[in-house]
């Protein structure tokens, strides 16, 4: 491995966070929209593991929540909901060209709240230079039906959303969460280490040492940037990893050791409390466990 490749691997914390469980786009409308329409999350996923994205090519969009206008977009751009908030969008009688999609976050990965995605964010493409190839191809696929159009649109939404998160992280548009924490190299280093070694016997002291900070200063900065304590964050990571390993068919006793739990009983209890399903359900029928995201 070259030095450059090694450095890229070491510093790509966001890829470590997502692994194979990155958010997935699922388009539910592409075309010209006229008048008002109601939008909310999918019934087959927990609302806290969803977002909604509206991508505008032309025209305008007004957003109404509880009957009150909250946002307006009249240039090519997007409206991102960091949770599945029920809302209406209104377009002019002449119509607006738009792509609407659910954003589905895997149960075995960080959700919108932990990432720090705002409840609602409006961005024009003027503010995010470099997206022309992605948005251009997205609109081409969405408005010119071809074989594989639905798959292509969803993959392009995945990529667009990743670029939007990168933009928001760079410009400090996120609320407390993982993306905000990545702006501080000391906390970012710890976040990456926790994701790479969740089964290690981490203490707040050892995390603070890795960050090069005192325990008190580290704990306060960590909470300020992520919105939760180092212990709560570590437990979340461990349960996410356990969820993924059990879903892959690994035995509970093995998984408990891999993610730092002293006993399989304690892990089973924690999984049931967080996900509402038993480890046996995760190891078996995915439909029963309600973990499929597409």
C-alpha span between 186 and 114 (Å, rounded): 18
Q: Which residues partner with 100 through β-bridges?
A: 29, 54
Report residue 166 as tokens: 């990168």
Check: CB of residue 99 under 8 Å from CB of residue 89: no
Handedness of CA 259, 265, 268, 272 (dihedral sign): negative
- CB 230: neighbour CB atoms within 10 A? 24
Q: Helices marked H in 26-125 — which ranges?
A: 112-115
pLDDT digits (tens, 9 = 90+) for 274-287: 888 898 888 864 44
C-alpha span between 234 and 199 (Å, rounded): 10
CA distances from 281 to 107, 144, 271 (A): 14, 41, 11
Q: Is the predicted pLDDT of residue 8 greater than 50, yes or no?
A: no
CA distances from 276 to 269, 271, 291 (A): 10, 7, 11
Q: Is the predicted pLDDT of residue 291 greater than 70, yes or no?
A: no
3-state SS string for 49-61? HEEEEEEEEECCE
pLDDT of 3 reads 47
pLDDT digits (tens, 9 = 90+) for 154-166: 999 999 999 999 9
pLDDT of 277 reads 87
């Amino acid at each position: 491995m070259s030095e450059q490749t090694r450095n890229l691997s070491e510093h790509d914390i966001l890829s470590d966070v997502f692994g194979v469980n990155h958010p997935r786009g699922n388009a539910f409308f592409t075309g010209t929209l006229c008048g008002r329409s109601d939008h909310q999350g999918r019934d087959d996923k927990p609302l806290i593991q969803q977002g909604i994205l509206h991508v505008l090519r032309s025209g305008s969009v007004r957003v109404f929540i509880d009957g009150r206008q909250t946002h307006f977009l009249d240039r090519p751009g997007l409206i991102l909901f960091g949770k599945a908030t029920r809302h209406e969008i209104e377009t002019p009688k002449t119509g607006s060209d738009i792509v609407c999609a659910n954003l589905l976050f895997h149960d075995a990965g960080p959700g919108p709240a932990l990432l720090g995605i705002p409840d609602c964010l409006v961005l024009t493409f003027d503010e995010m230079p470099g997206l022309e190839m992605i948005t251009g191809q997205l609109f081409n696929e969405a408005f010119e039906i071809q074989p594989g159009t639905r798959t292509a649109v969803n993959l392009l939404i995945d990529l667009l959303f990743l670029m939007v998160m990168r933009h928001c992280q760079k410009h400090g548009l996120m609320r407390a969460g993982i993306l905000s924490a990545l702006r501080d190299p000391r906390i970012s280093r710890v976040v990456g280490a926790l994701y790479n070694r969740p089964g290690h016997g981490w203490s707040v002291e050892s995390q603070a040492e890795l960050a090069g900070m005192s325990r008190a200063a580290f704990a306060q900065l960590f909470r300020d940037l992520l919105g939760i304590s180092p212990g709560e964050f570590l437990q979340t990571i461990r349960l996410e990893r356990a969820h993924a390993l059990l879903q892959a068919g690994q035995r509970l006793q093995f998984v408990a050791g891999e993610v730092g739990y002293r006993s399989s009983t304690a892990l089973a209890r924690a999984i049931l409390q967080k996900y509402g399903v038993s480890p046996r359900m995760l190891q078996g029928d995915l439909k029963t466990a309600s973990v499929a995201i597409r």
